[in-house]
Amino acid sequence: KVGNHLVSHPDVNLISFTGGTVTGGIIKSATANQPTKKLSLELGGKNPGIVFPDADLKKFIKDIGRSCFQNSGQICLCSS
The catalytic site residues sit at 42, 76
Q: At a CB cut-off of 8 Å and minimum separation 6, what does 78 contact?
A: 47, 67, 68, 69, 70, 71
**CA 80, CA 65: separation in Å to the nearest integer?**
10
